[in-house]
Amino acid sequence: MGFSTSGATAIIFVGVLVAAGIAYPVFHAAQEERLSAVQERDDRTLAMRNTAIAVDTWSYNETGTDDFTMNVTNTGSTTLSVAETDLLVDGGYRADDSYQTRVAGNGARELWQPGETLTVTVANESPAPDRVKLVTEHGIAETVTGVGA
> 64: helix, coil or strand?
coil
pLDDT for 2 equals 65
Choose among 121, 147, 133, 138: nearest CA to 52. Answer: 138
Separation between Cα atoms, residue 41 and residue 36, nearest integer Å? 9
Separation between Cα atoms, residue 29 and residue 128, nearest integer Å? 55
Residues in the chain: 149
pLDDT for 148 equals 63
Separation between Cα atoms, residue 83 and residue 72, nearest integer Å? 15
In contact, 104 and 116? CB cutoff 8 Å:
yes
pLDDT for 20 equals 86
| Residue ranges of the chain whose pLDDT lies below 50 | none
Task: List, in order, residues 6 or more apart from 108 with CB less than 8 Å away.
Answer: none
Q: Is 15 left (phi over 0), alpha (psi -120 to 50) or beta?
A: alpha
